[in-house]
């Protein structure tokens, strides 16, 4: 493309796409590039059982009154006194991170939010925001309905679908997400920036 704004636009969408793809590849979801699929409820159960509960047991094990359990008369202390605080801190940090993730997931569960829906919406919103930031003169249009192929057609839907495909490796019409974002933007008269 000859437009001098295109290289910056390309850098923006490429970086954002790589970042989102890495996130999807790292977490459970029903996207094909995800490591596996697991519901938020099952993930909360897993984190509680496999991280939070063991951390609580370890915190109790490293209380001052429990430390003598790590001693033996023939062996030097397996935990030198100077390492105890670091161990306690690491256990506390791990538990705090797991608790934070659980709290976030519980809010999403309570609001009936699906990771996939949220990710789809974010990809579409970001693609439109990036386009609008670099090329504000391009009108935001959801396209026109093509009854022969059963989807919205136009430059904007094609662009958003391509960005989505490059990130997820999946085809999706994204008609609802595109329409919702454009409608909200028009209704609220907010910019996509």
Instruction: Give first-to-last CA distance, the chain, whole Å.
Output: 23
Given a cut of 70, whether residue 20 has pLDDT beyond it is yes
Given a cut of 80, whether residue 157 has pLDDT beyond it is yes
Given a cut of 70, whether residue 167 has pLDDT beyond it is yes
What is the average pLDDT value for the chain, to the nearest integer? 92
User: 26, exposed or middle or buried, with CB in 10 Å at 0-12, 13-18, 19+?
Assistant: exposed
Average pLDDT in the 23-36 region? Answer: 97
- The sign of the dihedral angle between the CA atoms of 82, 92, 38, 164 is negative
Q: Checking DSSP bridges between strand 144-146 and strand 151-153, what pairing results, if any? A: antiparallel
Given a cut of 80, whether residue 187 has pLDDT beyond it is no
Given a cut of 90, whether residue 142 has pLDDT beyond it is no
Amino acid 13: pLDDT: 97
Q: What is the pTM of this model?
A: 0.84
Amino acid 189: pLDDT: 56
Given a cut of 90, whether residue 185 has pLDDT beyond it is no
Strand partners, 151: 146
Average pLDDT in the 32-37 region? Answer: 97
Average pLDDT in the 145-168 region? Answer: 92
CB 31 within 8 A of CB 119: yes
Amino acid 152: pLDDT: 85
**Residue 37 Cα distances to 8, 33, 41, angstroms:** 35, 10, 12
Sequence-separated (6 or more) residues with CB below 8 Å from residue 174: 120, 124, 157, 160, 161, 164
Amino acid 75: pLDDT: 87
Digit-coded pLDDT (tens) for 101-112: 999 999 999 999
Amino acid 191: pLDDT: 56
CB 89 within 8 A of CB 97: no
CB 166 within 8 A of CB 130: no
Higher pLDDT, residue 27 or 151: 27
């Amino acid at each position: 493309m000859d437009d001098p704004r295109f290289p910056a636009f390309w850098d923006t969408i490429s970086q954002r796409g790589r970042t989102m793809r890495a996130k999807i590849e790292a977490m459970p979801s029903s996207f094909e590039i995800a490591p596996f699929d697991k519901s938020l409820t099952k993930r909360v159960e897993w984190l509680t059982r496999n991280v939070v509960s063991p951390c609580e047991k370890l915190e109790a094990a490293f209380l001052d009154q429990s430390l003598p359990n790590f001693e033996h008369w023939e062996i030097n202390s397996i935990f030198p006194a100077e390492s105890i605080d670091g161990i306690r801190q690491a256990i506390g940090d791990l538990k705090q991170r797991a608790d934070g993730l659980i709290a976030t997931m519980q809010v999403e569960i309570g609001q009936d939010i699906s990771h996939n829906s949220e990710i789809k919406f974010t990809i579409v919103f970001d693609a439109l925001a990036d386009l609008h930031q670099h090329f504000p003169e391009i009108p935001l249009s959801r396209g026109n309905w093509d009854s022969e192929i059963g989807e919205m057609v136009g430059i904007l839907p094609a662009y958003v679908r391509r960005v989505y495909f490059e990130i997820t490796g999946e085809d999706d019409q994204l008609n609802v997400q595109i329409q919702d974002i454009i409608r909200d933007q028009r209704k609220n008269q907010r910019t996509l920036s």
